[in-house]
Amino acid sequence: MRLAEAFADEVTGRYRIERAAAVELILSRWSRRPDLLAAAARARSPEEIRRLRVYRDAASDAKREVYHRLRRYRRAPEDADAALAALCALDADAPPETRTERARAVALAHASVAERAGGLDAFCAALTACMGSPATVVDVGCGVLPLVFRLGASVRQWWALDRDPRAIAALEALADDRLRPVRWDLAEGWSRAGLPRRCDVGLLLKIVPVVARTDPALLTTLAATPADRLVVSGCRAALTRREDIERRETAVLLRFFAVYGLRVVDRFRTADETCFVVERRS
């Protein structure tokens, strides 16, 4: 136990995981390694165990598992599924506070919203202010943020686009005439039926750097988002590691703006995100 706790201190110094969760994960992984347990029983001290190849292999395995768990959009799939089922089970006459509570539970089970959890209200306020008073909004790769974002009075249509069926199911549970969830993949392009022709504001929140890394050919589709004004953001901290990535993410965004003729007209920063408001050059 003491060895796992000491290793958890090392892990939490590098990765964005709570210490108790790290200890639990490490003990779970190590308990399934009889070679490590046998070596620990024979060793005379923790230092002797740490020098063994079997310990180094087990440590590397635990770090990989921490990394992969933190990369998941749904950190605890069972909890996320239960929260989604509770939201979808609401009937039409459920009290507003119950709907709000269950929607927030689903949202915070999603890694992208969880990253903003500490300053979620401040982020939503800043986003609302920079958008102005749009009648129509297209939110590309929306995730579940619309569950906790209060639509302004001016908004008539909020198109929430995402390829994740669970995110769309969650949004459909609260959808009305204004919120319009659509399951859509960026690779489908903008010519697909059922998408908005033109919106006042387009949101590309934390998606441009991801696409630039994973499929840069699709940046052209992002740049063609059908909106007169775009709000584009990148992360300031890594999803998995305790690492400042603001400079790297900002460089990706500025390159995107330059290549596709987008002019920065405003910007703001929150604790977790750096955001730009851009318009197309005339």
DSSP string, 198-209: -EEEEEEES-HH
Note whether 35 and 125 are same-domain residues. no
How far CA 194 is from CA of 98, 182, 226, 233, in Å, comes to 31, 8, 13, 26
pTM confidence score: 0.79
The residue from 71, 102, 130 where one domain ends is 71
**Angle value at C-alpha 170, between 236 and 124, nearest 5 degrees:** 40
Note whether 46 and 129 are same-domain residues. no
Rounded to whole angstroms, how far apart are CA atoms 51 and 112? 38
- Report the percentage of the chain scoring pLDDT > 90: 48
Torsion of CA 85, 88, 92, 94, to 10 degrees: 40
**Alpha-carbon radius of gyration of the chain:** 22
**Domain assignment of residue 111, yes or no:** no
CB 149 within 8 A of CB 127: yes
Note whether 131 and 252 are same-domain residues. yes
At residue 240, φ and ψ (nearest 5 deg) are -105, -45
Q: Where are the alpha helices (DSSP H) in the chain?
A: 2-14, 19-30, 34-42, 46-50, 53-71, 77-88, 96-108, 111-115, 120-131, 165-174, 208-214, 219-223, 246-259
Residue 155: Cβ within 10 Å count:
18
Note whether 247 and 161 are same-domain residues. yes
Note whether 124 and 210 are same-domain residues. yes
Domain around 174: 119-280
Note whether 125 and 243 are same-domain residues. yes
* Residue 267 pLDDT: 95
pLDDT in tens, 159-215: 999 999 988 998 998 888 899 999 999 999 999 988 999 999 999 999 999 999 999
Residue 217: Cβ within 10 Å count:
8
* Residue 80 pLDDT: 75
Task: Name which of 73, 151, 80 is nearest 112 in CA terms.
Answer: 73
Using CB atoms within 10 A of its CB, is residue 176 exposed (0-12), middle (13-18) or buried (19+)?
A: exposed
Note whether 263 and 154 are same-domain residues. yes
**Domain assignment of residue 36, yes or no:** yes
Mean pLDDT score of the chain: 88
**Domain assignment of residue 107, yes or no:** no
Note whether 158 and 50 are same-domain residues. no
**Domain assignment of residue 275, yes or no:** yes
Note whether 178 and 271 are same-domain residues. yes
| 273-280 and 227-235 strand pairing | antiparallel
**Domain assignment of residue 103, yes or no:** no
Note whether 263 and 147 are same-domain residues. yes
pLDDT in tens, 211-249: 999 999 999 999 999 998 999 999 998 877 888 899 999
Note whether 58 and 197 are same-domain residues. no
Rounded to whole angstroms, how far apart are CA atoms 278 and 267? 9
What domain count does the chain have?
2
- Mean pLDDT along residues 80-88: 82
The residue from 71, 90, 109 where one domain ends is 71
Instruction: Tell which wins on pLDDT, 145 or 189.
Output: 189
**Domain assignment of residue 93, yes or no:** no
- Mean pLDDT along residues 148-153: 87
**Domain assignment of residue 94, yes or no:** no
**Domain assignment of residue 97, yes or no:** no
Note whether 182 and 247 are same-domain residues. yes
Q: What is the CATH number of the domain that holds 206?
A: 3.40.50.150
CB 208 within 8 A of CB 253: yes
Task: Name which of 200, 186, 187 is nearest 152 in CA terms.
Answer: 200
Only one residue has tokens 């400042």, namely 244
